[in-house]
Amino acid sequence: MPVPWLGLSNGGAFQPGREDRGLLCSQHGGLVDRSGGTATCPEAVEREIYALGLGIAEFRRGTEGQVLPVPDSRLNRRISAATVIDFSGPARASALLATKFSGLGTRTRGTLVGSAIVCTPWGTCLHGEGDFLPFVGRGIDTLPRHGAKALAGLQRYGLRAGHQSLCRWEHAGKQDLFARWNAAVAGATAAHDYRNIANTFGWVVETDPFNPESVPAKRTALGRLKQAELWMVPAEVGQPITILMRDAEDKETRYRYVSRALWNPADSGKGQSAGSKYLDEGHLQLACRDAQGELAWTTLRHGRLGLDMANADYPFTNQADVLINARLAADQIRTACAAQRVL
Protein backbone atom coordinates (compact mmCIF):
# COMPACT_ATOMS: atom_id res chain seq x y z
CA MET A 1 0.00 0.00 0.00
CA PRO A 2 1.50 3.39 -0.98
CA VAL A 3 2.50 5.73 1.83
CA PRO A 4 -0.25 8.38 2.29
CA TRP A 5 2.10 11.23 1.34
CA LEU A 6 1.05 14.42 -0.44
CA GLY A 7 3.78 16.66 -1.86
CA LEU A 8 3.70 20.23 -0.59
CA SER A 9 4.81 23.22 -2.70
CA ASN A 10 6.73 26.19 -1.30
CA GLY A 11 3.46 28.12 -1.49
CA GLY A 12 1.62 25.56 0.63
CA ALA A 13 -0.34 23.87 -2.17
CA PHE A 14 -0.53 20.29 -3.43
CA GLN A 15 2.51 19.42 -5.55
CA PRO A 16 2.31 15.85 -6.93
CA GLY A 17 5.60 14.00 -6.94
CA ARG A 18 7.46 16.22 -4.50
CA GLU A 19 9.37 14.08 -2.00
CA ASP A 20 11.44 16.49 0.08
CA ARG A 21 8.46 18.33 1.56
CA GLY A 22 4.94 17.08 2.11
CA LEU A 23 2.08 16.07 4.33
CA LEU A 24 1.75 12.63 5.88
CA CYS A 25 -1.72 11.34 6.79
CA SER A 26 -1.74 8.71 9.53
CA GLN A 27 -4.14 6.73 11.68
CA HIS A 28 -4.40 7.22 15.42
CA GLY A 29 -5.90 4.06 16.84
CA GLY A 30 -5.77 2.29 20.15
CA LEU A 31 -8.61 0.75 22.11
CA VAL A 32 -9.12 0.73 25.86
CA ASP A 33 -11.03 -2.43 26.74
CA ARG A 34 -13.25 -1.81 29.73
CA SER A 35 -15.52 -4.79 29.12
CA GLY A 36 -14.43 -6.23 32.46
CA GLY A 37 -15.90 -3.28 34.31
CA THR A 38 -12.92 -0.92 34.40
CA ALA A 39 -13.96 2.52 35.67
CA THR A 40 -14.96 5.05 33.03
CA CYS A 41 -13.28 8.21 34.28
CA PRO A 42 -14.77 11.11 32.26
CA GLU A 43 -11.41 12.85 31.89
CA ALA A 44 -9.75 9.69 30.58
CA VAL A 45 -12.60 8.97 28.15
CA GLU A 46 -12.49 12.53 26.86
CA ARG A 47 -8.76 12.16 26.16
CA GLU A 48 -9.43 8.92 24.28
CA ILE A 49 -12.18 10.48 22.15
CA TYR A 50 -9.92 13.35 21.09
CA ALA A 51 -6.90 11.08 20.56
CA LEU A 52 -8.60 8.62 18.22
CA GLY A 53 -8.87 9.33 14.50
CA LEU A 54 -6.67 10.80 11.77
CA GLY A 55 -3.51 12.89 11.97
CA ILE A 56 -2.04 15.22 9.34
CA ALA A 57 1.54 16.42 9.79
CA GLU A 58 4.08 18.27 7.69
CA PHE A 59 7.53 16.77 7.11
CA ARG A 60 10.63 18.07 5.35
CA ARG A 61 13.87 16.42 4.29
CA GLY A 62 16.88 17.70 6.22
CA THR A 63 20.30 18.59 4.85
CA GLU A 64 21.58 15.10 5.59
CA GLY A 65 18.62 13.36 4.00
CA GLN A 66 16.67 12.68 7.20
CA VAL A 67 12.91 13.24 7.22
CA LEU A 68 11.99 15.73 9.92
CA PRO A 69 8.61 16.85 11.31
CA VAL A 70 7.63 20.51 11.23
CA PRO A 71 6.00 20.99 14.66
CA ASP A 72 4.78 24.54 14.03
CA SER A 73 3.24 23.94 10.58
CA ARG A 74 -0.17 25.56 10.14
CA LEU A 75 -1.23 22.38 8.31
CA ASN A 76 -0.70 20.04 11.27
CA ARG A 77 -4.15 18.83 12.25
CA ARG A 78 -6.14 16.16 14.04
CA ILE A 79 -9.47 14.73 12.90
CA SER A 80 -10.78 13.05 16.06
CA ALA A 81 -13.79 11.05 17.22
CA ALA A 82 -15.41 14.40 18.08
CA THR A 83 -14.63 16.48 14.95
CA VAL A 84 -17.61 17.88 13.04
CA ILE A 85 -17.95 16.12 9.67
CA ASP A 86 -20.41 16.66 6.83
CA PHE A 87 -22.39 13.99 5.02
CA SER A 88 -22.30 14.30 1.24
CA GLY A 89 -23.78 12.33 -1.62
CA PRO A 90 -27.07 10.41 -1.96
CA ALA A 91 -27.56 9.62 1.76
CA ARG A 92 -27.12 13.19 2.99
CA ALA A 93 -30.21 14.35 4.89
CA SER A 94 -31.58 10.80 5.14
CA ALA A 95 -33.84 10.22 8.13
CA LEU A 96 -31.56 7.27 9.00
CA LEU A 97 -28.71 9.73 9.69
CA ALA A 98 -30.75 12.07 11.89
CA THR A 99 -29.45 12.50 15.45
CA LYS A 100 -29.81 14.91 18.34
CA PHE A 101 -26.70 16.67 16.98
CA SER A 102 -28.10 17.02 13.44
CA GLY A 103 -31.83 16.50 13.21
CA LEU A 104 -31.70 16.80 9.42
CA GLY A 105 -28.98 14.17 9.05
CA THR A 106 -26.55 16.48 7.25
CA ARG A 107 -23.68 16.42 9.77
CA THR A 108 -22.18 14.24 12.44
CA ARG A 109 -19.21 14.17 14.78
CA GLY A 110 -16.16 11.99 14.69
CA THR A 111 -14.47 9.32 12.66
CA LEU A 112 -13.18 5.87 13.57
CA VAL A 113 -10.27 4.91 11.34
CA GLY A 114 -10.40 1.29 10.27
CA SER A 115 -8.68 0.79 6.93
CA ALA A 116 -5.73 2.11 4.98
CA ILE A 117 -5.43 5.78 4.13
CA VAL A 118 -5.08 6.59 0.45
CA CYS A 119 -4.36 9.84 -1.37
CA THR A 120 -6.38 11.16 -4.28
CA PRO A 121 -5.00 12.70 -7.49
CA TRP A 122 -6.80 15.92 -6.59
CA GLY A 123 -4.84 16.30 -3.32
CA THR A 124 -6.99 14.92 -0.51
CA CYS A 125 -6.81 11.81 1.65
CA LEU A 126 -9.45 9.12 2.06
CA HIS A 127 -9.81 6.67 4.89
CA GLY A 128 -12.38 3.99 5.59
CA GLU A 129 -14.10 3.70 8.95
CA GLY A 130 -13.93 0.28 10.53
CA ASP A 131 -15.88 -1.61 13.18
CA PHE A 132 -17.89 0.76 15.38
CA LEU A 133 -19.05 -1.93 17.84
CA PRO A 134 -16.10 -1.41 20.24
CA PHE A 135 -17.18 2.22 20.60
CA VAL A 136 -20.98 2.26 20.28
CA GLY A 137 -23.25 0.71 22.86
CA ARG A 138 -26.97 0.08 22.79
CA GLY A 139 -28.59 0.16 26.18
CA ILE A 140 -32.13 -0.98 26.79
CA ASP A 141 -34.59 1.26 24.95
CA THR A 142 -36.86 3.39 27.12
CA LEU A 143 -39.34 3.75 24.23
CA PRO A 144 -40.48 1.17 21.67
CA ARG A 145 -38.14 0.64 18.73
CA HIS A 146 -39.56 2.22 15.59
CA GLY A 147 -40.37 -0.89 13.60
CA ALA A 148 -38.80 -4.06 12.28
CA LYS A 149 -36.97 -2.23 9.51
CA ALA A 150 -34.72 -0.31 11.88
CA LEU A 151 -34.05 -3.50 13.84
CA ALA A 152 -33.01 -5.37 10.70
CA GLY A 153 -30.44 -2.71 9.91
CA LEU A 154 -29.00 -2.67 13.42
CA GLN A 155 -28.78 -6.44 13.67
CA ARG A 156 -27.13 -6.86 10.26
CA TYR A 157 -24.27 -4.69 11.48
CA GLY A 158 -24.12 -6.45 14.85
CA LEU A 159 -25.64 -3.82 17.16
CA ARG A 160 -28.12 -5.82 19.21
CA ALA A 161 -30.17 -4.71 22.21
CA GLY A 162 -28.12 -4.49 25.38
CA HIS A 163 -24.78 -4.36 23.55
CA GLN A 164 -22.05 -2.85 25.72
CA SER A 165 -19.09 -1.28 23.97
CA LEU A 166 -15.58 -2.31 24.94
CA CYS A 167 -14.60 1.31 25.57
CA ARG A 168 -17.79 2.06 27.52
CA TRP A 169 -17.65 5.69 26.50
CA GLU A 170 -21.43 5.81 26.79
CA HIS A 171 -21.10 5.27 30.56
CA ALA A 172 -18.68 8.13 31.26
CA GLY A 173 -21.37 10.70 32.02
CA LYS A 174 -24.55 12.43 30.89
CA GLN A 175 -22.76 15.05 28.81
CA ASP A 176 -23.49 14.84 25.11
CA LEU A 177 -19.84 14.00 24.38
CA PHE A 178 -20.44 10.64 26.10
CA ALA A 179 -24.20 10.09 25.76
CA ARG A 180 -23.96 10.18 21.96
CA TRP A 181 -22.30 6.75 21.94
CA ASN A 182 -25.51 5.08 23.17
CA ALA A 183 -27.78 3.91 20.33
CA ALA A 184 -30.80 3.23 22.54
CA VAL A 185 -34.12 4.89 21.72
CA ALA A 186 -34.75 7.48 24.43
CA GLY A 187 -36.60 10.34 22.74
CA ALA A 188 -39.73 10.89 20.72
CA THR A 189 -37.86 10.97 17.39
CA ALA A 190 -34.39 10.34 16.04
CA ALA A 191 -33.72 14.07 16.42
CA HIS A 192 -34.02 13.65 20.20
CA ASP A 193 -31.51 10.85 20.80
CA TYR A 194 -28.71 8.86 19.13
CA ARG A 195 -30.55 5.78 17.93
CA ASN A 196 -28.91 6.34 14.51
CA ILE A 197 -25.36 6.82 15.79
CA ALA A 198 -24.22 3.51 14.25
CA ASN A 199 -25.42 4.69 10.83
CA THR A 200 -23.06 7.64 11.03
CA PHE A 201 -20.01 5.34 10.96
CA GLY A 202 -18.69 2.89 8.37
CA TRP A 203 -18.13 5.44 5.60
CA VAL A 204 -15.21 6.55 3.47
CA VAL A 205 -14.15 9.97 4.76
CA GLU A 206 -12.40 12.62 2.69
CA THR A 207 -10.15 15.25 4.30
CA ASP A 208 -8.39 18.17 2.62
CA PRO A 209 -4.94 18.35 4.29
CA PHE A 210 -4.07 21.62 2.53
CA ASN A 211 -7.03 23.51 3.98
CA PRO A 212 -6.98 23.24 7.79
CA GLU A 213 -10.30 25.11 8.00
CA SER A 214 -12.12 22.63 5.79
CA VAL A 215 -14.79 20.27 7.14
CA PRO A 216 -14.16 16.60 6.26
CA ALA A 217 -16.89 14.79 4.31
CA LYS A 218 -18.29 11.29 4.65
CA ARG A 219 -18.82 10.30 1.01
CA THR A 220 -21.99 8.25 1.21
CA ALA A 221 -22.04 7.20 -2.46
CA LEU A 222 -19.29 4.70 -1.53
CA GLY A 223 -21.61 2.83 0.85
CA ARG A 224 -21.49 1.98 4.53
CA LEU A 225 -19.42 -1.05 5.53
CA LYS A 226 -17.04 -2.00 8.28
CA GLN A 227 -14.11 -0.90 6.17
CA ALA A 228 -11.10 -3.19 6.29
CA GLU A 229 -9.22 -2.29 3.12
CA LEU A 230 -9.28 0.63 0.73
CA TRP A 231 -7.45 1.01 -2.58
CA MET A 232 -7.61 3.69 -5.24
CA VAL A 233 -6.91 2.46 -8.77
CA PRO A 234 -4.41 4.81 -10.49
CA ALA A 235 -6.36 7.51 -12.32
CA GLU A 236 -6.32 7.52 -16.12
CA VAL A 237 -7.30 10.50 -18.23
CA GLY A 238 -10.84 10.14 -19.56
CA GLN A 239 -11.63 7.14 -17.31
CA PRO A 240 -13.75 6.93 -14.14
CA ILE A 241 -12.19 7.07 -10.69
CA THR A 242 -12.31 3.56 -9.23
CA ILE A 243 -11.97 2.70 -5.56
CA LEU A 244 -11.86 -0.86 -4.21
CA MET A 245 -13.11 -1.74 -0.72
CA ARG A 246 -13.47 -4.80 1.49
CA ASP A 247 -15.74 -5.36 4.47
CA ALA A 248 -13.82 -6.39 7.58
CA GLU A 249 -15.87 -9.34 8.76
CA ASP A 250 -15.80 -12.98 7.65
CA LYS A 251 -18.25 -14.01 4.92
CA GLU A 252 -18.62 -10.41 3.77
CA THR A 253 -17.48 -9.38 0.34
CA ARG A 254 -15.61 -6.90 -1.81
CA TYR A 255 -17.03 -3.75 -3.30
CA ARG A 256 -15.92 -1.11 -5.71
CA TYR A 257 -17.01 2.42 -6.45
CA VAL A 258 -16.92 3.77 -10.00
CA SER A 259 -17.39 7.51 -10.47
CA ARG A 260 -19.77 8.96 -13.03
CA ALA A 261 -17.32 11.76 -13.82
CA LEU A 262 -14.22 10.95 -15.87
CA TRP A 263 -10.79 11.95 -14.59
CA ASN A 264 -9.53 15.31 -15.80
CA PRO A 265 -5.96 16.22 -14.72
CA ALA A 266 -7.09 19.86 -14.54
CA ASP A 267 -8.75 18.87 -11.23
CA SER A 268 -5.38 18.14 -9.60
CA GLY A 269 -5.06 20.26 -6.48
CA LYS A 270 -8.73 21.26 -6.33
CA GLY A 271 -9.26 19.48 -3.03
CA GLN A 272 -12.72 18.61 -1.79
CA SER A 273 -14.48 20.45 -4.61
CA ALA A 274 -13.00 17.82 -6.92
CA GLY A 275 -13.92 15.19 -4.34
CA SER A 276 -17.55 16.24 -4.64
CA LYS A 277 -17.32 15.88 -8.42
CA TYR A 278 -15.86 12.37 -8.38
CA LEU A 279 -17.15 10.87 -5.12
CA ASP A 280 -20.75 12.09 -4.78
CA GLU A 281 -22.10 10.61 -8.01
CA GLY A 282 -21.21 7.12 -9.09
CA HIS A 283 -21.98 3.42 -8.77
CA LEU A 284 -21.38 1.20 -5.75
CA GLN A 285 -20.82 -2.33 -7.03
CA LEU A 286 -20.61 -5.78 -5.47
CA ALA A 287 -18.18 -8.51 -6.48
CA CYS A 288 -20.12 -11.58 -7.65
CA ARG A 289 -19.44 -14.74 -9.62
CA ASP A 290 -21.35 -15.47 -12.82
CA ALA A 291 -22.60 -18.90 -13.96
CA GLN A 292 -19.11 -19.73 -15.28
CA GLY A 293 -17.44 -18.70 -12.04
CA GLU A 294 -15.96 -15.53 -13.49
CA LEU A 295 -15.74 -12.38 -11.39
CA ALA A 296 -18.28 -9.73 -12.30
CA TRP A 297 -19.53 -6.54 -10.70
CA THR A 298 -23.18 -5.82 -9.94
CA THR A 299 -24.43 -2.31 -9.15
CA LEU A 300 -26.35 -1.74 -5.91
CA ARG A 301 -29.10 0.44 -7.32
CA HIS A 302 -32.49 1.13 -5.82
CA GLY A 303 -35.33 -0.44 -7.82
CA ARG A 304 -33.15 -3.17 -9.32
CA LEU A 305 -32.84 -6.88 -8.39
CA GLY A 306 -35.14 -6.62 -5.38
CA LEU A 307 -33.72 -3.42 -3.87
CA ASP A 308 -37.16 -1.86 -3.47
CA MET A 309 -40.08 -1.42 -1.09
CA ALA A 310 -41.40 -4.90 -1.90
CA ASN A 311 -38.36 -6.56 -0.33
CA ALA A 312 -39.62 -8.71 2.56
CA ASP A 313 -36.34 -8.70 4.51
CA TYR A 314 -35.72 -4.96 4.29
CA PRO A 315 -37.97 -2.56 2.34
CA PHE A 316 -35.56 -0.22 0.55
CA THR A 317 -37.18 3.20 0.28
CA ASN A 318 -34.54 4.91 -1.86
CA GLN A 319 -30.86 4.88 -2.79
CA ALA A 320 -29.92 6.32 0.60
CA ASP A 321 -31.47 3.22 2.19
CA VAL A 322 -29.35 1.02 -0.09
CA LEU A 323 -26.12 2.83 0.76
CA ILE A 324 -26.68 3.10 4.52
CA ASN A 325 -27.53 -0.62 4.67
CA ALA A 326 -25.10 -1.80 2.01
CA ARG A 327 -24.71 -5.18 3.72
CA LEU A 328 -28.45 -5.86 3.47
CA ALA A 329 -28.41 -4.69 -0.15
CA ALA A 330 -25.49 -7.01 -0.87
CA ASP A 331 -27.38 -9.94 0.69
CA GLN A 332 -30.29 -9.31 -1.68
CA ILE A 333 -28.05 -8.92 -4.73
CA ARG A 334 -26.27 -12.21 -4.02
CA THR A 335 -29.62 -13.98 -3.64
CA ALA A 336 -30.98 -12.43 -6.85
CA CYS A 337 -27.85 -13.22 -8.84
CA ALA A 338 -27.85 -16.84 -7.69
CA ALA A 339 -31.52 -17.25 -8.59
CA GLN A 340 -31.50 -15.41 -11.90
CA ARG A 341 -27.86 -15.80 -12.90
CA VAL A 342 -27.97 -12.13 -13.73
CA LEU A 343 -24.99 -9.91 -12.97
- 232-263: pLDDT as tens digits: 999 999 999 999 999 988 778 899 999 999 99
DSSP state of 268: T
Give the percent of the chain with pLDDT over 90: 78
DSSP state of 113: E
Helix-then-strand count for the chain, H and E = 6, 16
Among 212, 275, 239, CA closest to 76: 212
- The string of pLDDT tens digits covering residues 11-54 is 999 999 999 999 999 988 877 788 776 778 999 999 999 999 99
- The string of pLDDT tens digits covering residues 131-170 is 999 999 998 887 777 678 888 999 999 998 889 899 999 9
Section 85-111 average pLDDT? 98
- Cα–Cα distances in angstroms (integers) from residue 341 to residues 10, 117, 271, 285, 293, in the given order: 56, 35, 41, 16, 11
pLDDT at 312 exceeding the cut of 60: yes
What is the Cβ-side half-sphere exposure of residue 137, based on CA atoms within 13 angstroms? Answer: 20
Residue-level pLDDT at 285? 97
Residue-level pLDDT at 290? 66
Q: Cβ distance 128 to 255 under 8 Å?
A: no
pTM of the model: 0.94
Q: Cβ distance 115 to 130 under 8 Å?
A: yes
**Termini Cα distance of the chain:** 30
Q: Cβ distance 280 to 204 under 8 Å?
A: no
